[in-house]
Amino acid sequence: MVVNFNLESPLNVSSVHENAHGETGVISFSSGHMRAMLDRFPEVIQMDCTHQTNQYNYQLLTMVAMDQYGNGQPVQYSLIETNSDWHMAKCMDHFKRANEHWRFVRIVIVDKDMREIDIIRKKFPEARVLLCHFHVIKWLHETIRKSKKYGVYEEDNA
Tens of pLDDT, residue by residue over 73-114, are: 999 999 999 889 999 999 999 999 999 999 999 999 998 777
Per-residue model confidence (pLDDT) at position 103: 96
Compute how many other C-beta atoms are within 10 angstroms of the C-beta atom of residue 141. 14
Range of the domain at 35: 2-132
Q: What is the pTM of this model?
A: 0.83
Is 25 within a domain?
yes
Per-residue model confidence (pLDDT) at position 38: 97
Q: Is 116 helix (H, G, I), strand (E, B) or coil?
A: helix
- HSE-up (13 A, CA, CB side) for residue 56: 11
Q: Are 30 and 41 in contact (CB under 8 A)?
A: no
Q: Is 112 helix (H, G, I), strand (E, B) or coil?
A: coil
Is 139 within a domain?
no
Is 149 within a domain?
no
CATH number at residue 34: 3.30.420
Per-residue model confidence (pLDDT) at position 53: 82
Is 151 within a domain?
no
Compute how many other C-beta atoms are within 10 angstroms of the C-beta atom of residue 104. 14
The CA distance from 145 to 131, in Å, is 21
Is 22 within a domain?
yes
- Number of separate domains in the chain: 1
Q: What are phi and psi of 42, to 5 degrees?
A: -85, -10
The CA distance from 144 to 10, in Å, is 51
Is 146 within a domain?
no
Is 104 within a domain?
yes
How do the pLDDT tens digits run along the chain, 158 residues long? Answer: 788 898 899 999 999 999 999 999 999 999 999 999 999 999 999 999 988 888 888 999 999 999 999 999 999 999 999 889 999 999 999 999 999 999 999 999 998 777 789 999 999 999 999 988 887 788 788 888 887 776 665 665 55
Is 143 within a domain?
no
The CA distance from 48 to 78, in Å, is 11
Instruction: List helix spans (H) across the chain.
Output: 2-8, 32-40, 85-98, 114-123, 133-146
